[in-house]
Amino acid sequence: MRRESLESLEALLVFLVPFLLALPFFMLGYLTEEAGNYVVYSIYIASSILLTRHNRRSLSEIGLTRKGFLASLGLSSVPVAVLFMREYLSGNIQLSPDAASWMAVSYTLFFEFFGGLGQEILFRGLILFSIQRWKGSKVALLSSSVLFGLIHFRQGAVGVIRTMLLGAYWGWVALKTRNIVGTTIAHGTYNFLLETIWTGV
């Protein structure tokens, strides 16, 4: 088996195994959604870094680098700014009741950026770049976007499609800039705004 195909298979296992292990505990009520997310995202982060190093690749090969950061951040922030302006102009913005508490806001900020890092390092980092090396950019972008959309199945069909499109855009940014630090910040900001501001999205 070629090195690139093996690395892609390993990346898909990093996605599947923690998700499938946590799902039964969540369905049986032994694991809350929040705790499950912490467990799964921690595994995604640690496994993506360890697997990259194990395969003797630098972290820059999964987009963890300073190079291209400003371009990545600028391009990644476009959908965040568009969403915010759309909701602002339509008058749908209203602070969440939790936003009145600094403790709740700081916790939400940490949780959303942690989740953003967990998802970006796996989907726009490990999976995207390993499949790109094996099958090319188009297959990599499609694969990582579909998987990213599917893990948001609790948002319903519309949420899955919206997330898939957003993932495709951030994947394009990652491929163009070779950087996922900017997409991680944009992703965390996007999630934070959705949690602290009622936008009707």
pLDDT tens per residue, range 45-77: 999 999 999 999 999 999 999 999 999 999 999
pLDDT at 142: 98
Instruction: State the angle between helix axes of 3-27 and 128-135 in degrees (0 to 180), rounded to the nearest 10.
Output: 140
94 - beta bridge partners?
198
CA distance 101 to 88: 22
DSSP structure class, residue 90: T
Q: Indicate the residue type of 129.
A: F
Which of the four pLDDT bands, split at 50, 70 and 90, describes residue 191? very high
Q: What per-residue string of b and e applies to 105-136 under the rule 16 or more CB within 10 Å gives b?
A: beebbebbbbbbbbbbbbbbbbbbbbbbbbee
DSSP structure class, residue 126: I
pTM, entire model: 0.92
pLDDT at 1: 60
Structural domain for 34, as ranges? 3-198
Asked whether 172 and 67 are in contact (CB, 8 A), the reply is no
Question: How many distinct structural domains can be found in the chain?
Answer: 1
Does pLDDT of 5 surpass 90? yes
CA atoms within 13 A on the CB side of 188: 21
